[in-house]
């Protein structure tokens, strides 16, 4: 997993040589890791990069497109005022907002994102409401009935969410349980914002999450293509972009 987190993918032959074991041993280990949902087997090897049916590990996602994610997070933080209640989801893009919230205190932050919790826990001026539930190492957050039921009792001024794929004017995700809590976050907030780097557009994932018209605005990098912008404009979805193109740095 450490090798895949660094490289994104690797061949069975390379892994067998690296670890000094047989190809069959590598295949058995990859089968176990795939069964646990940590990677996907591909022809001749394994990958933790996203596909329509597989979302990559949080530890891998938080390393890629970092410059663009930080720029989008800064754009999103500009929509928050001191004294508000905000919801932050489990995504790495939304997670990049956490350090920026320190300059917007006092705030109440509701989240299932462990990285956000670790950043904001014990900080003066931050009322942190952590959503319980079952912890997912892959998504670095808490999910399930406990988290969803807690959200039903809460209301916020704004929710900041992300998704793994956007096709036309619709958002998709590979994991049903992740979608369930994101949908409840939408219902619990008065204003809703979707944060998505430009690579998310024109991609597919297995499960429909929501139409983009459910959001007050979609926030993305300046590199988003005209082809991606057009369906949003036709659907009347507001699009906010960062001032600078961070795609080269993000790559």
Please give the distance of CA 19 from its chain centroid, rounded to a whole number.
32
pLDDT tens-place string over residues 68-89: 999 999 999 999 999 999 999 9
Q: Which of these ranges, 11-15, 62-66, 91-95, has the smallest mean pLDDT?
A: 62-66
The answer to whether 86 and 160 are in contact (CB under 8 A) is: yes
In the chain, what is the straight-line distance between the N-terminal and C-terminal CA atoms, in Å?
21
Q: Is the pLDDT of residue 248 over 50?
A: no
pLDDT tens-place string over residues 143-175: 999 999 999 999 999 999 999 999 999 999 999
Which of 141, 123, 225 lies closest to 185, judged by CA?
A: 141
Q: 3.40.1190.20, 1.10.760.10, 3.30.360.10, 1.10.10.10: which CATH number matches 2-49?
A: 1.10.10.10
Same fold, 2-49 and 64-250: no
Predicted pLDDT of residue 82? 97
Predicted pLDDT of residue 133? 93
Q: What is the average pLDDT value for the chain, to the nearest integer?
A: 91
Q: Which residue has the tokens 């005209």?
A: 226
Q: In sequence order, what E strands does the chain have? A: 9-11, 40-42, 45-47, 85-88, 107-111, 126-130, 134-136, 141-143, 156-161, 165-167, 170-173, 189-195, 207-211, 217-220, 239-241
What is the CATH code for 64-250? Answer: 3.40.50.1360
Strand partners, 47: 9, 40
Q: Is the pLDDT of residue 250 over 50?
A: no
Which residues are within 8 A (CB) of 91 and not within 5 positions of it... i.e. 6 or more apart? Answer: 61, 113, 161, 162, 163, 195
pTM assigned to the model: 0.83
Domain ranges of the chain: 2-49, 64-250
Q: What percentage of the chain carries pLDDT values higher than 90?
A: 70
pLDDT tens-place string over residues 189-233: 999 999 999 989 999 999 999 999 999 999 999 888 999 999 999
Q: Is the pLDDT of residue 6 over 60?
A: yes
């Amino acid at each position: 997993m450490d090798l895949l987190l660094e490289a994104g993918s690797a061949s069975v032959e390379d892994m067998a040589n690296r670890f000094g074991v047989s190809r069959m041993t590598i295949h058995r280990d990859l089968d176990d890791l795939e069964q646990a949902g940590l990677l996907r087997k591909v022809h001749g090897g394994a990958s933790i990069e996203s596909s329509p049916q597989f979302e990559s590990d949080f530890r891998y996602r938080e390393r890629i497109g970092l410059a663009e994610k930080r720029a989008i997070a800064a754009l999103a933080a500009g929509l928050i005022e001191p004294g508000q209640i905000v919801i932050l989801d489990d995504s790495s893009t939304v997670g990049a907002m956490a350090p920026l919230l320190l300059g917007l205190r006092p705030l109440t932050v509701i989240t299932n994102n462990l990285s956000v919790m670790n950043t904001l826990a014990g900080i003066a001026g931050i009322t942190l409401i952590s959503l319980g539930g079952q912890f997912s190492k892959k998504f670095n957050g808490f999910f399930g009935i406990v988290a969803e039921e807690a959200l039903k009792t809460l209301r916020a001024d704004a929710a900041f969410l992300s998704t793994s794929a956007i096709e036309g004017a619709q958002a998709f995700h590979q994991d049903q349980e992740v979608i369930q809590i994101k949908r409840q976050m939408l219902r619990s907030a008065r204003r809703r914002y979707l944060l998505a780097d430009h690579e998310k557009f024109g991609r597919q994932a297995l499960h429909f999450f929501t139409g983009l018209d459910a959001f007050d605005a979609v926030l993305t990098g300046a590199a988003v293509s005209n082809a991606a912008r057009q369906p949003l404009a036709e659907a009347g979805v507001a699009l906010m972009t960062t001032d600078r193109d961070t795609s080269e740095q993000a790559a």
